[in-house]
Amino acid sequence: MTHSFAPEILREYDIRGTVGRNLSVADAIAVGRSFATRVRAAGGTRVAVGRDGRLSSPDLEAGLVEGLAAGGVDVVRIGIGPTPMLYYAEATLEVDAGVHVTGSHNPRDDNGFKMVLGHRAFYGADVLDLARIAADGAWSEGRGSVSEAEVLDAYVGRLLAGYAGGSFRIAWDCGNGAAGPAVERLVAQLPGEHHLLHTAVDGRFPNHHPDPTEEANLADLQALVRAKGLDFGIAFDGDGDRIGAVDGEGRVLWGDQLLSVLMVPVLAELRGATVVADVKSSQFVFDRIVELGGKAVMGATGHSLMKEAMLAHDAPIAGELSGHIFFGAGANGGWYGFDDALHAAVQLIRAVLLSGRSLTALRSAMPPLVNTPDLRFPVDPARKFAVIDEVRARLEARGVPVVAIDGVRVTTAEGWWLLRASNTQDVLTARAEAGSEAELAALLAAIDAELALSGIARD
């Protein structure tokens, strides 16, 4: 029996869709069968499986486990937790791979699967290969066993291993996502004063959507920090692999700004080390890496691509604007370069302590740049990458220096702008940063001009 996936659920970094529309238990079973086939082809025999707290996750997890066992691999179920707990289990249990059932920061009815094989991200062509295996029915056969393992306490203990002392007054907002129980156990063992928001796992997300890259979702955290005069606040996305933060005044620190704080003690301990930041990150971050004696590398956006860039450059730390922060195995208790927002939170406490300043003071010392959020422009899927190629060709023909790691990034006297094709949607995304609103407007005009030449109008 074969089962073909809907093409739109095959993403660059994982498999993700909307339950009831293009994602079902049958898909979960097929994912399990196909992944088991790949694991066995690589010589593996055991797979760790976890899930987030979405309403559809129990059924999808059950289907995934059924498929994995039918494919002849043994399954170790670790239960509800953040995706980084699955990464920890894959790195520390006697398993060869891992799958987490999660919709990450997507809308509540979305869900999917994040996969790891042999301590490396499983993405891109590997994900597409799962669909090929399913369509061909080229599944391995067997009767794998299913067992359970409790890893939450060990995972929290690993987080605490990176703690360096200090007592702060901190607010924590879990957004009713999967990080809640781990955060409760973590802060119970941290000194200081801790105020918890929305730690109960609830796939309806009744308080706000768990995506800390949207400032509206940080309103509860900002209000609590300001009302109680706390030192700072920390927020997590739905599966705990992306971090958000606000300072004592309630000002947001975006992912690149957090990286600029977190990398300071890393570069103090590992002098001359490489730091990877994604192509969306502020020029301030790249300049700061060099100022601290590090080697700055610009990487393509996407958590799997960032993990590979870390390995390629032997970088102990990396970060994305989206709040994915990665610590390598040699940096303050990280493991295998995976993104773990709870680990990043502990390291943020450590970095603030070692700085001898408040997070508010560190935020105030950052240059007063103005920038856009991600601007999105719908595009014909057949034209998505072609438009980027056209823009790059025109710029290079005019002699404009272009960074083409992921789309086109152009630096001018006013600042810089970026135009790239989304990895997960049929849109182009743009971002720009400048020293003033007038300079930002000039950068946006340059983007508009390039889009117009390719027949696309920005709303």
Give the three-class secondary structure for 268.
helix
Bridge partners, residue 101, by sequence: 51, 113
| DSSP secondary structure string for all residues of 2-17 | --PPPGGGB-SSSEEE
CB within 8 Å of 450: residues ≥ 6 apart: 391, 394, 395, 419
Helix axes 255-269, 283-291, angle to 10 degrees: 10
> Do 192 and 168 touch, CB atoms closer than 8 A?
yes
Annotated catalytic sites, by residue?
A: 104
Overall size of the chain counted in residues: 459
CB within 8 Å of 440: residues ≥ 6 apart: 370, 371, 372, 414, 415, 432, 433, 434
Tokens 């009831």 identify what position?
20
CB atoms within 10 A of CB 455: 11
- State the Cα–Cα distance between residues 445 and 458, nearest whole angstrom: 10
Q: Which two tokens stand for residue 202?
A: 């609830």
